[in-house]
Amino acid sequence: MTTAQPLRVGMVGYAFMGAAHSHAWRTAPRFFDLPMEPQLTAVAGRNEDGVRAAAAKLGWASTETDWRRLIKREDIDLIDICTPGDTHAEIAIAALEAGKHVLCEKPLANSVAEAERMTAVADAAAKRGVFSMCGFSYRRTPALALARRFVQQGRLGTVRQVRAQYLQDWLSDENAPMTWRLDKSKSGSGSLGDIGAHIIDAAQWITGQNITGVSALLETFVDQRPLAGDMVGLGGHGDVGADAPRGSVTVDDAAIFTARFDGGPIGVFEATRYALGRKNAMRIEINGTKGSLAFDFEEMNVLSFYDAAESPDAGFRRIFVTEPEHPYAGNWWPTGHGLGYEHGFTHQVVDLVNAVAEQRQPEPSFADALQVQRVLAAVETSAANSSHWQSV
């Protein structure tokens, strides 16, 4: 390992996603044989004390307080963007133009126009051997990667129906504090872009089909929230008094929509952060002519598979996706010793490093993420137009 070529990473942002990405860069080479050796070279953030503390805690060798300086550094090969969505386009484009590979958190951007510009730059950069990837990390959950494999192997036959939900509850309490995720200028949208984007990407990726149109409804349940703290919180356990000054929520709290895919299936989607009791229920169920699949991230190591050929003794088979033959699983623990949330990020690094080393386009590309962005935009348009059908 010590003789591998280094891949020097500069990360922008160091909150929730920054912690997850740092762990992934650090851990990937310990469990996977990588053709390049990731180095946690520098982390950037506007607050000098904050970024220094983060670097020490997360294990980065140096710091910058301006991402533009990070991009200029010659000892950086890859920029890892972990900031809110309103900054993605500017940073990613500058990085790619500076010849740095880019890993950009999802959603790719806050608008289709931004995503289109990013994709154009990314496509051009790829021709120069500079690659980019969008961080739809759930693709790297072994059970979901196995789901895709099953569809590709034809074990479901022709897909007819998709139902996907992403249910959380951390905003259920109306006194949970305001965060940047509830400010449209920062986050682009609410549940729709934050968690709805994940199920859109997963549904398209697993089925191998694009969504072609939607009919949608968006709803905001709580439109004013206490202003408090640093606006970066994720939890609903806020100790903010109910009499604190309040700021306006400018995004959707729940997004529900019906959809059609280009190969024929229909789908139902729901994203919400108000489903009390559902903590991280990212769920997808796919019904085909030969079989069905079901997944719930709250049991992330399990894929349920129904094979109609086993009828009349068929039943959803609860596959514990930890066998050596399963995606990513063989590099970890013995069968049955499950993985956790952060492993998806580690696998993302593994796939990215391999693609970069082999000089090929990593997936999901910015173009893949642009397609998700177009679905998000169609959802918003339909919702604004009395749910009228909106082509993507």
Q: Are 248 and 223 in contact (CB under 8 A)?
A: yes
Binding flag, residue 207, a second copy (CB under 8 A): no
CA distance 238 to 118: 36
| Residue 298 is a binding residue for a second copy (CB under 8 A) | yes
**Spatial separation of the C-alpha atoms in residues 380 and 377, rounded to whole Å:** 5
The helix/strand/coil state of 254 is strand
Q: What is the DSSP letter of 156?
A: T
Contact pick of 343, 356, 362, 371 for a second copy (by CB under 8 A): 343
Q: Residue 197 and residue 374: Cα distance in Å, rounded?
A: 10
Q: Which of 12, 275, 284, 349 binds a second copy (CB under 8 A)?
A: 275
**3-state class (DSSP) for residue 77:** coil
318: amino acid identity, one letter: R
Residue 241 engages a second copy in binding (rule: CB under 8 A): no
Note whether 258 and 266 are within 8 A (CB).
yes
Residue 184 as a binder of a second copy (CB under 8 A): the answer is no
Q: What's the distance, CA 252 to chain centroid?
A: 18
168 sits near a second copy (criterion: CB under 8 A): yes
Q: CB-wise, 296 or 368, nearer to a second copy?
A: 296
Rule CB under 8 A: is residue 76 a binding residue for a second copy?
no
- Please say which residue, 90 or 299, places its beta carbon nearer to a second copy: 299
> Alpha-carbon distance 143 to 323, whole Å?
11
Question: How far is it, in rounded angstroms, from Cα 134 to Cα 201?
Answer: 11
In terms of CB distance, is 299 or 351 closer to a second copy? Answer: 299
- Nearest approach in angstroms of CB 213 to a second copy is 9
Name the packing angle between helices 16-31 and 48-58 (round to 10°): 30
Nearest to 284 by CA among 190, 143, 179, 152: 143
Element (H, E) at 226: strand 224-226
Site track 345-384 with a second copy (rule: CB under 8 A), x = hit: -------------------------------------x--
Among 62, 184, 221, 363, which residue interacts with a second copy (rule: CB under 8 A)? 221
Q: How far is the CB of 79 from a second copy (least distance, A)?
A: 21
Q: Using the rule CB under 8 A, which residue among 43, 79, 339, 370 binds a second copy?
A: 339
56 contributes a contact to a second copy by CB under 8 A: yes
Six-digit token string for 80: 């890892």
Residue choice 316, 351, 354, 381 for contact with a second copy (CB under 8 A) = 316
| 148 is a site residue for a second copy (CB under 8 A) | no
Find the Cα–Cα–Cα–Cα dihedral 171, 174, 180, 182, rounded to 10°.
80
Q: Which residue in 25, 205, 295, 305 binds a second copy (CB under 8 A)?
A: 305
Could you say which of 97, 333, 358, 360 contacts a second copy (CB under 8 A)?
A: 333
Report the C-alpha gap between 283 and 163 in whole angstroms: 8
Count of residues that interact with a second copy, criterion CB under 8 A:
101
CB 158 to a second copy: min, Å = 9
Residue from 46, 57, 68, 72 touching a second copy (CB under 8 A): that is 57
- Which of 90, 184, 244, 290 contacts a second copy by CB under 8 A? 290
| Binding of residue 279 to a second copy (CB under 8 A) | yes
